[in-house]
Structure 1
Amino acid sequence: MQITILPELKAYIDPLTPDEYEALERSLLAEGCRDALVLWGDVLVDGHNRHGICQKHGLPFQTVQNPRFQSMEDVHLWMIDQHLGRRSVSDFQRGVLALRKREIISTRRARLLAATPPPASLPPDGDDAAAPAPAAPVSSAVDAPETRALNSREDIARAARLSSSQVVMIEKIQKHAAPEVVEALKAGDISLNAAAAVASLPEQEQKDAALAGREELKQAARRVREARRKPAVEREAAQAPGESAAVSDGDELGALRQRVHALERENAALREQLARWQAQEVPAP
């Protein structure tokens, strides 16, 4: 049968790394293509790598239709859910996919709500017979479970199996990171936390750090973190003199009290000694 490859679907999910592709090729050559390729009509939805390898080596494969696809949005959502469930997908990729899912659902829900007709106005008294029948809802998809999902950052984090702070970092990387930094993150040259830190730098600095390699990216991230900590350290330093003065005042007061006690003891001893001398000089009666 004829199979149509759409570049937008093939590129919708990040491609396999060379090592992953070679491992898949070895598996197909050894065991054959056991999983059917998923189609929407004649359009290939899932299995682009397997299809290419099977075509390359003349390996047989099976196909299956997904009858639930009604639009390209359905196809995208299905592809996202499939990849969110795979353990080989990185944290960054899962976060990006979950954010894409939120955008699709938000757009679909807004469109469906805009197409829903307003409620019919009530007829005047006595005209009940002429009242129009209530309009049926345009689509139940507005209330479908997936349209109510991913409304918050916590929802996105659960869908992507991430923390809310990781979702924040991924959003920042998507908005501000230079493409070179994103590629370094995908290649594993920099951590998610470090990439988010570097993304706060001017774009040219990001590019220069990425071109310089892994160590320079780490150094750039470290400089950003240190710059963020500096104001806090300065605030602590500004408070330190007053705190030190308070400690010094307390120590000085304690020392003065000890000195007073010592002088009082010394004074008492001197009075006792003076009394003894006076007693020795006065003759007995």
Structure 2
Amino acid sequence: MDIVVNEELKAYIDPLTPDEYEALERSLLAEGCRDALVLWGDVLVDGHNRYGICQKHGLPFQTVQNTRFASMEDVHLWMIDQHLGRRSVSDFQRGVLALRKREIVAARRERAKAAPAETAATEQAAAPLPAGESLDSREALARAARLKSNQVVMIEKIQQSAAPEVVAAVKAGDLSLSAAAAVASLPAEEQSAAAGAGELKQAAKRVREAKRKPAREKEEGGENAADDGAAAAQGEDALAALRKRVKELEAENAALRKQVLALLGKPGQPGAAAAPAEDADAPF
């Protein structure tokens, strides 16, 4: 039979790197094509690289039909699950595939809600989804992709905001997920300029430093506020002590006044008759 290569399906999964392709070619030449190519009718679903190498070298191969596929969506979901289970797939690729799966599953569930019961049952029977596999949360996505939740967050940001040059650098392994996510926060023009100058890592460093600066200032501001608070508390204590001392001095002054008045009013006391009346209340 004639095998049809659907270019959209072939490009749905990221291609092998040159080194990976050469390793696969050496393996096929040495051991033959041991795994059957998966078909949907006459359309090739899995084994594009193996098929191309076998055609190139005239190597024999086998095929197998997957009869569960009812639509291209089913094919996509199957392809995603196959690649999510392979160890050779990078973290970024697994994250992208999990995000694609979430979109397909969400769209399918929405159609099932809106469609008549008979249509929904037919679609579910054709390609059933595991119960609860909504992939709505980052935790669920992380489990599906065998990643950490923070990695899923970074991959989402890269998918949404990164320039093509940044994505290419991540796929090639030249830029880490965290660095690419940092660069993705820059305007697209700055990302492309940094990529063109070979300064993506430096750009990521600048972004990280810019994010750390407010945090440091906030922390230092908190420490200064604590110092100011302590100084204010000490000032209030000093003021309270001063007020207390003033009251004590006023009380002592009042007591002295009484003693003076008592002495001035005592009969026979020298100077008692000569003291002016209006000076009786004069401060001592």
- Are 1:173 and 1:196, in contact at CA under 8 Å, matched by a contact in 2? yes
1:139 matches 2:121: yes
Q: Tell me by how many angstroms 1:142 deviates.
A: 5.0
1:170 matches 2:152: no
Q: TM-score, normalised by structure 1?
A: 0.76
1:148 matches 2:132: yes
Residues in 2 aligned to 1:111 and 1:245: alpha-carbon distance in whole angstroms: 61
Unaligned runs of 5+ in 2: 238-284
Q: Which of these residues, 219, 229, 235, is aligned with residue 218 of structure 2?
A: 235
Partner of 1:92: 92
- Tell me the SS of whatever aligns to 2:12: coil
Partner of 1:160: 145
Q: Tell me by how many angstroms 1:146 deviates.
A: 3.5
Partner of 1:44: 44
Q: Aligned ranges for residues 132-281 of structure 1 at < 5 Å?
A: 138-139=120-121, 141=123, 144-146=128-130, 148-149=132-133, 150-213=135-198, 216-245=199-228
- Tell me the SS of whatever aligns to 2:67: coil
CA RMSD of aligned residues (A): 2.1
Q: Tell me by how many angstroms 1:222 deviates.
A: 1.1
Number of matched pairs: 233
- Are 1:105 and 1:147, in contact at CA under 8 Å, matched by a contact in 2? no
Radius of gyration: which is bigger? 2
Any idea what the Cα deviations from partners look like across 1:106-155, whole Å, max 9, x if unmatched?
A: 111111221125xxxxxxxxxxxxxxxxxx57416559434731132111
| Percent identity between the two aligned chains | 71
Q: Which runs of 4+ in 1 moved over 2 A?
A: 140-148, 236-253
Residues in 2 aligned to 1:65 and 1:242: alpha-carbon distance in whole angstroms: 71
Residues in 2 aligned to 1:138 and 1:187: alpha-carbon distance in whole angstroms: 41
1:82 matches 2:82: yes
Any idea what the Cα deviations from partners look like across 1:226-260, whole Å, max 9, x if unmatched?
A: 1111112222233333433566789999xxxxxxx
- Are 1:169 and 1:193, in contact at CA under 8 Å, matched by a contact in 2? yes
- Tell me the SS of whatever aligns to 1:16: coil
Q: TM-score, normalised by structure 2?
A: 0.77
Residues in 2 aligned to 1:247 and 1:219: alpha-carbon distance in whole angstroms: 42
Residues in 2 aligned to 1:88 and 1:18: alpha-carbon distance in whole angstroms: 14
Q: Tell me by how many angstroms 1:218 deviates.
A: 1.4
Partner of 2:9: 9
Partner of 1:27: 27
Partner of 2:261: none
Q: Which amino acid aligns with 1:239?
A: G
Residues in 1 aligned to 2:80 and 2:202: alpha-carbon distance in whole angstroms: 34
- Alignment CA distance shift 1:151-1:61 (3 Å): same
Any idea what the Cα deviations from partners look like across 1:88-115, whole Å, max 9, x if unmatched?
A: 0000100000010111111111112211
- Are 1:37 and 1:47, in contact at CA under 8 Å, matched by a contact in 2? yes
- Are 1:184 and 1:190, in contact at CA under 8 Å, matched by a contact in 2? yes
- Are 1:105 and 1:146, in contact at CA under 8 Å, matched by a contact in 2? no
Q: Which amino acid aligns with 2:121?
A: S
- Tell me the SS of whatever aligns to 1:219: helix
